[in-house]
Structure 1
Amino acid sequence: MPDSEPLGSSPPQHPAAPPTAGPDAPAPQPPHTPLTPAASGFLAALHPPVTIPGPPSPPAPRCAPRDAPGTTAAGTALKRILRGPTGLGTTSLTLPGRHEPPPPGPVPPAPAPPAEGQAVPGLYHHPVPEPDPARVEEVSRRIKRWAEDEVQLYPEEWEGQFDGFSVGRYMVGCHPDAPTVDHLMLATRLMVAENAVDDCYCEDHGGSPVGLGGRLLLAHTAIDHFHTTAEYTPAWRESLTSDAPRRAYRSAMDYFVQAATPSQADRYRHDMARLHLGYLAEAAWAQTAHVPQVWEYLAMRQFNNFRPCPTITDTVGGYELPADLHARPDMQRVIALAGNATTIVNDLYSYTKELDSPGRHLNLPVVIAECEQLSERDAYLKAVEVHNELQHAFEAAAADLAQACPLPAVLRFLKGVAAWVDGNHDWHRTNTYRYSLPDFW
């Protein structure tokens, strides 16, 4: 039956699962394109073993403008990312080791071997350690309980697809600095809710471009509340339990606002509006059978992309990147490029899945093939090159920002976004239930 929890009520609290002890062995790294000098130093700092911070420190002073005297040199800024911030009040921003003590008892088993799955040949990426198996198991258990008991997300016949999504592994791999499982669940519920809207309103499970705008607008009121007269408020409240996507949005957002600052919650609402705008552009093209130019497709994908996920990395990490720092144009460029690169990863890994689905699905290889008169193989390989250029641009932009504004919260946020980018690729690579590669090599 529909979730009857009153709007805005406090979500139940769940104890955090203790993480396992011992480092995870990283997967072997495939060949990839060389880094630019500016980005190479920054990236070297992003892949040591990541650990959990303590409580957040007081807000740091704002950084100077890029051209202010005394701006930190590039090498110094990048070294600070590597070693973490120092000085009074910065202990909680360092990422040296999990703060949760290992559980008593026998020595835990050796880390699991890297999960199977082939990376797209030639795709520039960074291997990541295997996600903490204890956390993966606990997040997977909790999210399924939430989906089944709290929001009645899917009918019984969809259970295999829900399990095959492997969202526990996904979110643990993308947020290695989350202090607790409770923090991981903030991201996990939102991810599942976003996919419910995509599936049920847009694509696999009854979705359609026809009437999508009305459905999305009403669902958006579950995360960005409708403020109206007393007469009409009850009907809106009742509508929030009327279908699975709205139940999921409402519940996931209720949990999120309990942990987020008002600024972080509003940031997320803004990024979800961007996402919904991208859905509508794609739907409009489907209704008119329009094939966009490649640049138009990439513009759509800047909105219909993963941006809402890495942009909450500070909330999931238990700290806040202040609003004025998040709003900097150079930070916005970093976040946009991260979302764009990770979304083209999705286009590449889901290519064969979409070709086998009913109807015509626009993705980057398909658009390149049609607009530039290339074979399927050549268009796919060019899409790999587009991804690689976007990924390098993201890393270079992050390195520039680290130089311009080497504040602890900025450096940690950049590190969190980079971890999300790497974890997102690893999930696509290893999710052989959903994805397989074309035979182009």
Structure 2
Amino acid sequence: MPDPGPCCLPPSRTDALARLAALGVGPRPAPSSPPAAPAAVAAPAADLAPDEAPVGDPPAPEPEAAVAVPDDASAFVERLRRGPSGLGTLSLHLAPREEPPTPAPASGRPAPGSPIPGLYHHPVPEPDPARVEEVGSRIKRWAVDEVQAYPPEWEDQFDGFSVGRYMVACHPDAPTVDHLMIAARLMVAENVVDDCYCEDHGGSPVGLGGRLLLAHTALDAVHTTAEYQPAWARSLVSDAPRRSYLSAMEYFARAATPSQADRFRHDMARLHLGYLAEAAWAETEYVPEVAEYLAMRQFNNFRPCPTITDTVGGYELPADLHALPAMQRAIALAGNASTIANDLYSYTKELDSPGLHLNLPVVIAERENLSAKESYLKAVEVHNDLMHAFEAAAAEVAASWPDARVLRFLRGVAVWVDGNHYWHQTNTYRYSLPDFW
């Protein structure tokens, strides 16, 4: 399979010069406004997106309010300790939680937009339509005009992704639309890299390591000599994935603390390591053991998304609390469960794509000699086990470290997991379920 080379649209000279100027290379365009002062943790909307005023948003919280204990904190902690079946899982969510799993339909394929029968999940309220529309329009302007990530012929795919509905469902506590845009840009940038380097739009496992490494430098700057720094800086605007990463990270770093930014870079390195493992298996046509596949999926994973929930919420979970082994286990389990949900919802889409696309049902079928239906239903059980393990781990963390920021962060991660499921369930443009019931 040939190396696809640079992907997508070339940058305009104006955009390229602007990016280089921001990095201290080449001529600097005249600024349209004075440079912003460094942002606080809960950055005001004007600092996050100077050219776009928030629509219908409440004012950003003061720093003290950003980490305040929720009104129902006492009951929240008490339910964590008491909890249903000793797990305390109800307390991890902002909305009332209905008891899944969803019953199986009488026969045949579930109706479009239905959850997977038997999948353990928690419904969420419908996202605020005003915010959904605003995030959707802003993120399209950013992707198409600002970083030139998508050519016109991909417009229907971009619209079908429903970025606005996804982000609003996953981050209901974001104080402003500008905070939601932090997550939206990073989500779209990650998908541009995946599409252009790995999968749908010219991606290939051949040469992926080099492309990913150079793209990662748009998130984690190279510190080199004066002779070679300009060449590296020019590379950051040479294709759509790097332009997208560079811009999204600039917006994120403006709103995040240094600790939050470094946390995100670490999580993205994990993600790229997972991409490389999957690519290596594709090159050698190796179908991994189920345990190997699940290990890969802990890295090729949604983890970077829920771990920025505090930045998007306008507060910070301090580094020492984030680094707790128990907290790391809860975060990993949340990412793993969310990623297996993606395997299940995208199963029929991937069966229709060229070649063998690895997902958990496919790997179980190959390695455990089960039928497609048996493998899919077993993968549902794996997802459910991961969800229960996440909720038990999160309840244990909250009971052991009853810090207001810990409780809020755990809530944010849990709500992100639920919003991610909601988006997969309801995105009938992208996903349909197999006829296994």
TM tier relative to shorter chain = 0.7 to 0.9
1:270 matched to which residue of 2?
266
1:108 matched to which residue of 2?
none
2:32 matched to which residue of 1?
none
2:433 matched to which residue of 1?
437
Secondary structure in structure 2 of the residue aligned to 1:439:
coil
Q: 1:54 aligns with which of 46, 53, 61?
A: 61
Secondary structure in structure 1 of the residue aligned to 2:298:
helix
1:224 matched to which residue of 2?
220
| Ranges in structure 2 where 5+ consecutive residues have no aligned partner | 1-10, 24-34, 37-47, 68-75, 96-110
Is residue 258 of structure 1 aligned with residue 265 of structure 2? no
Alignment RMSD: 2.6
**Aligned-residue offset at 1:167:** 0.6
2:70 matched to which residue of 1?
none
Is residue 349 of structure 1 aligned with residue 345 of structure 2? yes
For residue 232 of structure 2, what is the amino acid of its counterpart? W
2:119 matched to which residue of 1?
123
Q: 2:196 aligns with which of 182, 185, 200?
A: 200
For residue 56 of structure 2, what is the amino acid of its counterpart? P
Distance 1:78-1:239 versus aligned 2 partners, 3 A rule: farther
Decide whether the 8 Å contact of 1:136 with 1:169 is kept in 2: yes
Deviations 1:123-149 (A, max 9, x none): 000000000000000000100000111
Deviations 1:215-247 (A, max 9, x none): 000000000001000111111111111000000
Matches of 1:211 and 1:55 in 2, distance apart?
A: 47
2:385 matched to which residue of 1?
389
Decide whether the 8 Å contact of 2:89 with 2:392 is kept in 1: no
**Aligned-residue offset at 1:76:** 6.7
**Aligned-residue offset at 1:55:** 2.2
2:364 matched to which residue of 1?
368
Matches of 1:324 and 1:281 in 2, distance apart?
A: 30
1:413 matched to which residue of 2?
409
1:15 matched to which residue of 2?
53
Alignment of 1:44-193 (within 5 A): 54-57=61-64, 75=79, 117-193=113-189
Matches of 2:90 and 2:114 in 1, distance apart?
A: 29
2:106 matched to which residue of 1?
none
Distance 1:59-1:136 versus aligned 2 partners, 3 A rule: closer
Is residue 423 of structure 1 aligned with residue 419 of structure 2? yes
Secondary structure in structure 2 of the residue aligned to 1:57:
helix
Distance 1:412-1:59 versus aligned 2 partners, 3 A rule: closer
**Aligned-residue offset at 1:17:** 1.6
1:323 matched to which residue of 2?
319
Deviations 1:163-199 (A, max 9, x none): 0000110000000000000000000000000000000
For residue 15 of structure 1, what is the amino acid of its counterpart? A
**TM-score by structure 2 length?**
0.81
Matches of 1:199 and 1:409 in 2, distance apart?
A: 35
1:294 matched to which residue of 2?
290
1:400 matched to which residue of 2?
396
**Aligned-residue offset at 1:359:** 1.2
For residue 417 of structure 1, what is the amino acid of its counterpart? V
Deviations 1:382-426 (A, max 9, x none): 000000000000001011111100100000000000000000000
Q: 2:332 aligns with which of 322, 336, 346?
A: 336
Instruction: State the percentage of identical aligned residues.
Output: 74
1:46 matched to which residue of 2?
none
For residue 436 of structure 2, what is the amino acid of its counterpart? F
1:112 matched to which residue of 2?
none
For residue 240 of structure 2, what is the amino acid of its counterpart? A
Distance 1:53-1:230 versus aligned 2 partners, 3 A rule: closer
How many residues are matched? Answer: 373
1:42 matched to which residue of 2?
none
Deviations 1:345-404 (A, max 9, x none): 000000000000011100000000010000000000000000000000000101111110
